Structure 1
């Protein structure tokens, strides 16, 4: 990672329909506890079990390594109504130009292209920090997630048991674009 890129401030990531907010440990504890605080606006089915698992991993990494931002966890908020509808995050710090991501949406927010839109935002963040590869996986039976990864520019690179592995290559000439 370049020195200039490491000095970029942590700001909300914005897409045409979403705001991705880098959470801190205090917000993470509210999400894991499923207790909205003052100012939290959550969709009725947020957080769901996948959010709790992802944020629990984020909290463990934060306790061990300190602040994870910008390679931490982001709350996905729909700008049309200001409601939190899911999360997306990095599964650890970048290593040798590579980082892994995971994501999930509350059931009421699925099927609208929000996950692919959020993925493109974190791919752009990774590119801004001079990373060259972003990886993800999904289960063999999760066809919706496979399609989401492909819409965001990922290609399947292999299978490990019941997990399908995906990857997107980033570079100076390749910037992810918003999915259609």
Structure 2
């Protein structure tokens, strides 16, 4: 957050000699001054959501920049509100989620950080474009941070900043249709009795696939091999532009201590009314019913979605514990061969 704000202030500081009041910010209807004030407003609003632990609406306050504040005052306000959001992100526990309307009515601290960075980068671009300054280009890592947290369905490409501009209707990319409507997407979360099923972002999937923890604290001895394989599949889908967060991978997080115990997810979006599900648990979390509980929650959610009639689970013949899990979750054996059993749960 601090890097994005510093980059914004440096870029806008170079054009303080121009008319911010009467010039529109790029393709926006707002003036450059209104857009700068909007950056500060968003940053303080996101900080307020996290600090206030808002659950069902925005905290009812807003910021107003004094009318006689010059350009330097506006930039100071952006610096200040950016520092407040950064502080809120650092001090908010990992498990906390606060209200944001798009698309699941909540976001965690990383989601609010990514939204804040997006507001800063994109509107800095808008202002500099409107004022006719040097074309703005932030560090590529900042654009990647935004894309891999809140634009999971956007195929990344080789140029993160150009990709982000395209994804928000601000530019073109060879081979891709122009974007006329867009919305970012925080990761989905599904609750069960003892667990929270947290949708894995592309950033978390990449970290898990190369041996990291994905931003979670795991029970010993950490993620099982199936979780890392599933993360690799998720990352490949993202890189191909085929990832859909609701139909991706979820980490199973224990409510009582915020520790990850395993992972569960779909092999892809539904096809002809059917969707396949897979899962595994860390060795230190087995035998406690977590997999059964999560499977009931996730498969039940899937069957509530339009066009989904069947959830499929394939289990190896020698994996008796997993066979017991799907049976307890209500699945029915429908076919088998020399290597595996195929189970279905129908809506």
Alpha-carbon offset, residue 29 of structure 1:
1.3
Q: Deviations over 1:92-130 (max 9, x none)?
A: 110111100000000111111100111111112212213
Measure, in 2, the Cα distance between the counterparts of 1:11 and 1:49: 23
Which of 196, 200, 208 is residue 19 of structure 1 equivalent to? 196
Measure, in 1, the Cα distance between the counterparts of 2:339 and 2:243: 32
Q: Partner residue of 2:207?
A: 30
Q: Partner residue of 1:90?
A: 266
Gapped runs of 5+ residues in structure 1? 1-6, 171-180
Determine which structure has the larger helix proportion and give its number: 2
SS across alignment from 1:70: helix
CA contact (8 A) 2:275 2:310 kept: yes
SS across alignment from 1:124: helix
Which of 140, 145, 155 is residue 317 of structure 2 equivalent to? 140
Residue 161 of structure 1 pairs with residue 338 of structure 2:
yes
* Higher Cα radius of gyration: 2
Gapped runs of 5+ residues in structure 2? 1-101, 105-186
Q: Partner residue of 1:102?
A: 278
Q: Partner residue of 1:128?
A: 304
TM-score by length of 2: 0.45
Count of residues in correspondence between the two structures = 163
Measure, in 2, the Cα distance between the counterparts of 1:11 and 1:48: 22
Matches within 5 A, 1:42-57: 42-57=218-233
Measure, in 2, the Cα distance between the counterparts of 1:35 and 1:71: 22
Alpha-carbon offset, residue 68 of structure 1:
1.7
Alpha-carbon offset, residue 8 of structure 1:
6.5
Q: Partner residue of 1:41?
A: 217
Q: Partner residue of 2:142?
A: none
Q: Deviations over 1:32-85 (max 9, x none)?
A: 122236x53122212121111111111112221343210000011111111011
Q: Deviations over 1:120-143 (max 9, x none)?
A: 111122122131000011111111
Measure, in 2, the Cα distance between the counterparts of 1:127 and 1:12: 16
RMSD (Å), alpha carbons:
1.7
SS across alignment from 1:100: strand
TM-score by length of 1: 0.85
Choose between structure 1 and 2 for higher RCO, CA contacts under 8 A separated by at least 6 residues.
1
Q: Partner residue of 1:4?
A: none
Q: Partner residue of 1:71?
A: 247
